[in-house]
Structure 1
């Protein structure tokens, strides 16, 4: 099959694809800033293992077996796992040189880079461990930092397992949060209160409700042409458009006498424990998110199940694309390092296999076809090489 590589950074399509190439190589790398290898858990602060519920009700984010091992090892060391890494590679790569950079670098070197990088909770997260807040956590080891957590005043507490994330030259551009579950959020009133208080007009959902017979997220919205009251927020689902790789829903939300419009973008073809095989649908998905106009200039809310893995990948993908367009080069490790300062474990699972893909004619055709195909399940929506 003849492949065509487009190298102009001003082309949004190309910049997004090239940024994703390297991002997916380094997908879910555990990058954190640790300036002192002798740092310890703050005096008087209990370790995570000492503070988890006695009934053992916390879950592991089981997208990657390695993550379980690292979380356990991290908590045994007071929340931070150190290895021999002294610093993260901060070299920027020019966008038009990225295909060569990716293909020339041995796959083994990505694994070695992964193994050198520290991971774990590196900043205070005491608020998440308060007794009244513990029930609002889901996964062991995934807690928002005190200095970047979203504060939502609801039902006697301002805590929700959500973090503000800085974007490219933009403070608090995103909110990363757990996929809403009734076990943690009851009637989802807390989630919708966060949407309202933070002026959210776009929700990016990068998980399905059930994957491999496991519940990843509950349906926290009403069906199309239906309505529901979640806490103090009244929600009406105005429309639902199903495309080959994603679904777009539009809601009217109101509180007291004030009303707003909310758009949910639901990416439905992210494979379990892997990255999307084809970059094109994710590029088209992101374009739809960006091209949707808003009025309040609030953050984009992004969630998967744990709010760190796929969530971190989508946010990094968006940041790197903007960086590539603006500066002509990208810094993947630096990007991930930055977002992990806002929320722990962002970019979480190692991708063991990688194939450098360039744009093909069929990929371009698939993107155009995706605009027209509706109500099709994933298996019938794929294009064939």
Structure 2
């Protein structure tokens, strides 16, 4: 028995010793992890009261449930490291060299962005500092959302108005720039009516010269921001002792508008710019980063030498606002260090204002944006350098024997998107499938036009066509296939229902003479179901035919519509076919001149399958639009963008090269670049 007791004691001692060693090792690992993974952050004050699990209140920039109770826990001198103690291993500093950014983003976006969504969940929504000032004011009067309150240590403190309670408060936060530069940005909520005057007080006090606004005034019928500036040129608004006047509105851009505002207070007069980005959907992210990056570039050019903070706001001032600020910070880090650390950037922003970068969609978009800016966006060429750059782009590079244009096209092929079965569900329905010339070239539901007139007579609302944005106009084009014998009525319903008054026909006239491809017009008059089309005039132009048509819909009062058809005579077969290339440019010029007097109605562009020639034509036309507005050319970005809804656009390196030569031919119509600028 004594031997058994001794053995038991020995075994127990060994086990106890091993457990002690394991516990010590765990403690050491935890301490090392704390040391190397957690950046230092300011400590919360001893009396802070912290809402627990408030992330359940946050959905995009949406309103919070006003009566939802919050569970509170008391923190005694709470260390921020403990508040972020559940952030997980993914918040270890992760510097990604620019050369590795493309494979890294591809990896974390695999399987439906599952890895990025998992990483995003490791960011805590718990406050990391006191919010005494914001919680001490009447919430409905000063805070758009009850749970998004600025931290005391970063809040913008307004100069008090004597005798006016809470006059030092506004829901806005100073945000550090890269690297640790104080007060580079002010992140703010969109003003409500009661705080619009405070907004202008802040703008004057902080000497703000530029504002980046990322929300519309209303979204999904809900108010998102009060109109704190006059939207029409020449209009004035007064806020207390501050008068603001809209002296210029520049709406030449698809995704944003630029307002020039005169601000007057007492003897002080100065001008600021308000950059209003209008294409960021509520509860999500932009469809692609191209427009937002162009917007940010404009903002930064304007704010470059002012020395004043950039005011950024959306509705809540955290989701879209945090995303734009993070993009700017990471681009600066990349420029300085040659690498980016997305996770640390998000973590740092959240120590200065709660919920910065608010949704997984915004976190995913952040990665798309920096990839676009750093890896894919070195393709923009100034108009003054284009002829010189074309020599470089078309020069054969040994030993591969390819040109730089061909290399860029191969990159586009690598990035080519695909449409899934859900995207094209309507196009594949039995009643619609027979309306498609090519079963592989189908419009996604989100971008197809719905035809109404023939739908009312018992046909479906489907036609193989899709909307395409121009550079300045949303849905500026509709691309469609050559009508089939059974879809001629649908084609004219498309023209009639969308209000289009211009058709660009890219198939030569001799193909419209068989049973498979009947002409959808006639030299005199013809009927197509409920529509009657009459050719009023036909003129031979330089490389194309211009027809003036009259379109009537039977049974509809005041239905007569004047239509212009621009019909190519000969499509260029290769890039050195200069005469035919000039025909395309002449048609684009005629189309643009026609559109000047016809508002923003879409131009219908038609080729055999709605892809092959339509892609070249539309990419070139959009490129010319940008050239006219910004004196820059970026065919790579245009093709990447238009392929999102029709991956079959620009099917070869030859077509991609043709787009460049077409723009060059357009520019060379003018003797000098100075003449070109005057015309633009």
Name the TM-score class by shorter chain.
0.7 to 0.9
Q: Any idea what SS the aligned residue of 1:292 has?
A: helix
For 1:43 and 1:278, how far apart are their aligned partners in 2?
A: 44
Match in the other structure for 2:220 = 212
- Determine if the alignment matches structure 1 residue 102 to structure 2 residue 105: yes
Does the C-alpha gap of structure 1 residues 350 and 86 become closer, same or farther in structure 2, counting only changes over 3 Å?
A: closer
CA shift digits 1:30-74 (9 cap, x unpaired) = xx97989xxx9855555559xxxxxxxxxx654278x969xx797
Aligned to 2:257: 247
Alignment partner of 2:148: what SS?
coil
**Cα distance between partner residues in 2 of 1:136 and 1:351:** 28
1:64 and 1:342, CA in 2 relative to 1: closer, same or farther beyond 3 A?
closer
Q: CA RMSD in A?
A: 3.6
CA shift digits 1:218-259 (9 cap, x unpaired): 110013211121122111110011111100000111211111
Aligned position for 1:175: 186
Measure, in 1, the Cα distance between the counterparts of 2:70 and 2:619: 41
User: Which segments of 5 or more consecutive residues in structure 2 lack a partner in the other structure?
Assistant: 1-36, 378-411, 413-615, 631-640, 647-680
1:93 equivalent among 96, 101, 110: 96
Of 154, 161, 165, the residue aligned with 2:175 is: 165
- Is the contact between residue 210 and residue 303 of structure 2 (CA under 8 Å) also seen in structure 1? no
Residues 297 and 34 of structure 1, relative CA distance in 2, 3 Å threshold: closer
- Give the match's secondary structure for 1:153: coil
Higher relative helix content: 2
Residues in 2 aligned to 1:311 and 1:249: alpha-carbon distance in whole angstroms: 19
In structure 2, what is the equivalent of residue 339 of structure 1?
349
Paired with 2:335 and 2:324, the residues of 1 have a C-alpha distance of 17
Closer, same or farther: CA 251–61 of 1 in aligned 2, 3 Å:
farther
The answer to whether the Cα contact below 8 Å between 1:280 and 1:363 also exists between their aligned partners in 2 is no
Counterpart-to-counterpart distance in 2, 1:252 and 1:137: 27
Q: Does 1:231 align with 2:231?
A: no
Q: Secondary structure of 1:158's match?
A: coil
Once the 2 structures are TM-superposed, how far is the Cα of residue 272 of structure 1 from its aligned partner? 2.2
| Residues 365, 112 of structure 1: alpha-carbon distance in 2 compared, 3 angstrom cutoff | farther
Q: 1:164 to 1:84 in 2, by over 3 A?
A: closer
Q: Could you state the TM-score of these two structures normalised by the residue count of structure 2?
A: 0.44
Distance in 1 separating the partners of 2:49 and 2:331: 40
Partner of 1:153: 159
3-state DSSP class of the match of 1:123?
coil
- Change over 3 Å in CA distance of 1:294–1:90 after alignment to 2: closer
C-alpha deviation, 1:134, in angstroms: 6.7
Q: What is the distance in 2 between the residues matched to 1:299 and 1:274?
A: 27
Asked whether the 8 Å contact 2:127–2:354 carries over to 1, the reply is yes
**Any unmatched runs of 5+ in structure 1?**
1-31, 50-59, 375-381
Residue of structure 1 in register with 2:60 after alignment: 63
The Cα of 1:363 is off from its aligned counterpart by 8.5
**Could you give the per-residue CA deviations for residues 289-345 of structure 1, whole angstroms, max 9, x where no partner exists?**
111157652100000000000000000011111111121100001111111111111
Quick check: 1:121–1:141 contact (8 Å CA) kept in 2?
no
Q: Which residue of 2 aligns with 1:139?
A: 145
Matched residue, 1:117: 123
The alpha-carbon deviation at position 163 of structure 1 amounts to: 0.1
Greater gyration radius: 2
| TM-score, scaled to structure 1 | 0.75
Q: State whether residues 64 and 146 of structure 2, in contact with CA within 8 Å, keep that contact through their aligned partners in structure 1.
A: no
Q: 1:96 Cα deviation (Å)? A: 2.1
CA contact (8 A) 1:246 1:266 kept: yes
CA distance in 1, matches of 2:356, 2:335: 23
- Structure 1 stretch displaced more, 308-317 or 95-104: 95-104
Q: Quote the Cα distance in structure 1 between the aligned partners of 2:298 and 2:270.
A: 19
CA distance in 1 between partners of 2:621 and 2:93 (Å)? 36
Separation in structure 1 between the aligned mates of residue 95 and residue 347 of structure 2, nearest angstrom: 13
Q: 1:48 to 1:286 in 2, by over 3 A?
A: same
Contact 1:48 1:78 in 2 (8 A): no
The alpha-carbon distance between structure 1 residues 154 and 190, as it changes in their structure 2 partners (threshold 3 A), is farther
Is the 2:47–2:74 contact (alpha carbons within 8 Å) kept by the matching residues of 1? Answer: no
Where relative contact order (Cα < 8 A, 6+ residues apart) is larger, the structure is 1
Alpha-carbon offset, residue 116 of structure 1: 2.5
